[in-house]
Structure 1
Amino acid sequence: MSNNPIYRADHVGSFLRPDYLIQARIQFNKKEISEQDLKEIENKAISELVTKQKAAGLNVITDGEFRRSWWHLDFMWGLNGVEKADLKEGYKFQGVESRPETARLTGKISGENHPFIEHYRFLQQFIENGIVARITIPAPAQFLKELYRPENKVTTQAIYPLQSDLVNDIAKAYQTFIDEIYAIGCRNIQLDDCTWGMMVDSRYNNAGVAHSDQEHTHQCNCHGSENTTVISKSLHELAELFVEINNAAIAKAPQDLILTTHVCRGNYRSTWAASGGYQPIASYLFGRENVRAYYLEFDTERAGDFSPLTEVSGDKQVVLGLISSKIGELEDEQTVINRIKEASQFLPLERLCLSTQCGFASTEEGNALTEEQQWAKIALVNKIAKIVWGTN
């Protein structure tokens, strides 16, 4: 299996934080415990989590994102030239709003000496025969989108008047991070990318990166034109930009480094942000992004049908996110099996796998289910994978 990106039974990476870890982070933020105290508690929680992942029969382990507050912002904050900043409003989900935090530029971006290198180094000790240690990070397109949030846009454009320069520096920063984490032994990286899941919803499809009609004065050559600082607000040109930056960031990655990507439509305290099938962006994401596999949300009708899977190019694989990480109720086994068979009409069964639709805790707050329910979901993924493919 070492040459394949994923296993038949897989997961997206984040897990519910134990209560004592949640309390420790609160204490740390109140300056009641030291950074070293928090680190030791995180180490304990991650060690216990890895034991549970192995006991659950998973071949891929992660640190559960236990050292993070967010699935994406913590990575961005770890890049040089980026700071943590507060906003007036958070991200908007169905019926709820997240904490108002963002990543904002302070200068030119670079990727050396990222704190996630040491995070992965701790996880490495748990690798054994048949067990792969994966790290999850936000995709470059996700970072670009964050820098063009309305509250960040002025700062971003002051530091990077030319968008092509910003794209180049983001790609280089990711290349540096990939080189450094590869050097210590990492061979499996998952790029989490909500940009695609948001673009298919007409409410969000310019993703904040495109300019309004009033601002739009020129069309950017997304391959490096120096003549303009703006891009078209067309969904297709935005998709072109996102696939370009994602591919540029991984273009120099070693051949034996498994690079995959996860796409969903928002995951915060069991809520969601967007709706829409993959078809509008399938030719870009599935046809042209140079990853080895896609972890795709498919647990509700909000993700559309399976027909866009015909756009998955080459021998790339798709991990069907048919088991919801948002709710505690367990899916019907036969219904999930039937949906896998349905998906196999568009992509051969041997190129399909199964997982939860997203992580169980994309932020430290976690989703509205218990730890017992979380592991029951993982057990169901394993059980169905063995029924369908004869192995996990």
Structure 2
Amino acid sequence: MHLLPPFRAEHIGSLKRPAVLLQKRKELDDGKITAEELLPVENQAIDNIVKMQREVGIKSFTDGEFRRHMFYDGVFDNLDGMEYLPDVPLEMFMSYVPDTMAFKHHSFKKAASYICIGKLKRTKPFYKAQYEYLKSITSPEEHKNIKITVCAPEWFHLRHGPYAYKKEAYSNDEDYFADIAQAYREEIQELYALGCRNIQFDDPLLAYFCAESMITGMTEQGADHEKLLNLYIKAYNDCLKDKPEDFTAGLHLCRGNFRDGLHFSEGGYDRIAVKLFNEINVDTYYLEYDTERAGTFEPLKFLPKDKSVVLGLITSKFPKLEDVDELKKRIYAAADTIANGHEPRSKEEALSQICISPQCGFASHADGNPVTEDDVVKKLSLVVKTAREIWPDA
């Protein structure tokens, strides 16, 4: 049975950026320093954060996304055919999408974004440099444990709907996503050749399909939410079509983790569970489960026997620590649901398919949430402590 990721104690990817890194990045944005001058500060911050992950017992390493401003950076800002627009009128953002709904609610007039203006083509790597630096500061035995977080392929498409691409570039969604999928396949093949064996798609957008507000808004505007979800599932599968057997692809769903813990949507996974677990060809799911806004464990009854789930039971939004006994109770409850699901199995088998993590990263954007670096250490230590009490070899 191919149960991945290989570690019971996981974290999502982004970590709290140290103050010196935030200050230097601001200086870069203000034109006071160059990217070359920022680089050693990033390197030192990444060295320290990898050391921290080792010390608390997290065995899969990320760079904390310290080279990014937003978690989804990397793909569309590097694709030929995409154009950065600093002032996109809000009418080009779909009002039914929960995060753009929030922008409009706060009376924003314009927002920065990327629009496709020509044929999409990958002419340079997306995440090669980030992987290679992690490889340079870890041992050969650890290289397979490096995890690279990547942008969801539908990120700008859902936001912009019919404005996502110029009609001179593409006449339909299928052709647009065909070129995106080709770019992802090329990226995966290069990462694999370099030694990477683990990526995680970060995708709050799929969770939006669980939100009644978006479903209602799409229906009112004549948009077919079922058709759109099917389009995105196909896009994922096309991206992963040539994935090597020993290459793990994970999928992280959350409902927003913006400044001060702001979230954009609510609703359990029930609406999309069958398709999420059975039609998207990923190996594992990182699921938000720290508050009631994510619903119950009931959708886990659709989890197949050959996939795993990472339960995001520990919040990254606030510093208060969860109770270990309560976390363990919830893990066992999830195992019961899986064991008694559509493919019945023993509770032990179900438990073997479960890992634990925070519900999201600690800094989905550069500013981060109201937690300190010490809070991050305590939260990740709690993840490891809880995992080891259930799986002693975690």
Contact kept in structure 2, 1:323 and 1:331, CA below 8 Å = yes
The CA deviation string for residues 83-112 of structure 1, in whole angstroms up to 9 with x for no partner, is 322235684559979993322223111223
Distance in 2 (CA, whole Å) between partners of 1:25 and 1:201 is: 35
Contact kept in structure 1, 2:56 and 2:381, CA below 8 Å = yes
Distance in 2 (CA, whole Å) between partners of 1:97 and 1:47 is: 41
Distance in 2 (CA, whole Å) between partners of 1:338 and 1:130 is: 32
Matches within 5 A, 1:54-65: 54-65=54-65
Contact kept in structure 2, 1:93 and 1:271, CA below 8 Å = no
SS in 2 for 1:247: helix
Of the three residues 119, 135, 138, the one matched with 1:124 is 135
User: Residue 149 of structure 1: CA displacement?
Assistant: 4.8
Which residue in 2 is equivalent to 1:101? 112
Which residue in 2 is equivalent to 1:261? 251
User: Residue 144 of structure 1: CA displacement?
Assistant: 3.2
Which residue in 2 is equivalent to 1:112? 123
Q: 1:174 to 1:59 in 2, by over 3 A?
A: same
RMSD (Å), alpha carbons: 2.4
Distance in 1 (CA, whole Å) between partners of 2:54 and 2:10 is: 12
Distance in 1 (CA, whole Å) between partners of 2:217 and 2:66 is: 28
User: Residue 256 of structure 1: CA displacement?
Assistant: 1.3
Matches within 5 A, 1:276-287: 276-287=267-278
Query: Does 1:137 find its partner at 2:150?
Result: yes
The CA deviation string for residues 175-200 of structure 1, in whole angstroms up to 9 with x for no partner, is 11111222211111101111221111
| TM-score, normalised with respect to structure 1 | 0.88
Higher helix content, 1 or 2:
2
Query: Does 1:200 find its partner at 2:210?
Result: yes
Letter in 2 for 1:289: I
Distance in 2 (CA, whole Å) between partners of 1:206 and 1:12 is: 30
Of the three residues 352, 356, 359, the one matched with 1:357 is 359
Contact kept in structure 1, 2:311 and 2:356, CA below 8 Å = yes
Which residue in 1 is equivalent to 2:389? 387
User: Residue 234 of structure 1: CA displacement?
Assistant: 3.2
Query: Does 1:375 find its partner at 2:381?
Result: no
Distance in 2 (CA, whole Å) between partners of 1:281 and 1:2 is: 23
Aligned identity (percent) is 35
Which residue in 1 is equivalent to 2:347? none
| TM-score, normalised with respect to structure 2 | 0.87
Contact kept in structure 2, 1:8 and 1:354, CA below 8 Å = yes
Letter in 2 for 1:144: H
Letter in 1 for 2:285: Y
Which residue in 2 is equivalent to 1:191? 201
SS in 1 for 2:319: coil
Q: 1:260 to 1:104 in 2, by over 3 A?
A: same
Query: Does 1:212 find its partner at 2:214?
Result: no
**Which runs of no fewer than 5 residues in structure 2 stay unpaired?**
91-98, 339-349
**Which runs of no fewer than 5 residues in structure 1 stay unpaired?**
214-232
Which residue in 2 is equivalent to 1:174? 184
The CA deviation string for residues 127-185 of structure 1, in whole angstroms up to 9 with x for no partner, is 33356111000121334324x357x44x4444212211101111111111111222211
Contact kept in structure 2, 1:46 and 1:63, CA below 8 Å = yes
Distance in 2 (CA, whole Å) between partners of 1:115 and 1:300 is: 33
Distance in 2 (CA, whole Å) between partners of 1:354 and 1:18 is: 25
Distance in 2 (CA, whole Å) between partners of 1:38 and 1:386 is: 38
Letter in 1 for 2:123: E
Letter in 1 for 2:20: Y
The CA deviation string for residues 204-239 of structure 1, in whole angstroms up to 9 with x for no partner, is 23897x9933xxxxxxxxxxxxxxxxxxx3332222
The CA deviation string for residues 288-339 of structure 1, in whole angstroms up to 9 with x for no partner, is 1111100000001111101111112241000000000011111111111111
Contact kept in structure 1, 2:250 and 2:283, CA below 8 Å = yes
Query: Does 1:39 find its partner at 2:42?
Result: no
Query: Does 1:159 find its partner at 2:159?
Result: no
Query: Does 1:293 find its partner at 2:284?
Result: yes
Distance in 2 (CA, whole Å) between partners of 1:317 and 1:340 is: 13
Letter in 1 for 2:191: I
Which residue in 1 is equivalent to 2:51? 51
Q: 1:17 to 1:191 in 2, by over 3 A?
A: same
Distance in 1 (CA, whole Å) between partners of 2:10 and 2:217 is: 29
Distance in 2 (CA, whole Å) between partners of 1:358 and 1:6 is: 19
User: Residue 254 of structure 1: CA displacement?
Assistant: 1.3
The CA deviation string for residues 36-95 of structure 1, in whole angstroms up to 9 with x for no partner, is 001121111111111111111110110100110111144321222223222356845599
Q: 1:201 to 1:158 in 2, by over 3 A?
A: farther
Query: Number of residues paired by the alignment?
Result: 369
SS in 2 for 1:67: coil
Q: 1:37 to 1:211 in 2, by over 3 A?
A: farther
Letter in 2 for 1:110: K
Q: Which moved more, 1:17-26 or 1:70-79?
A: 70-79
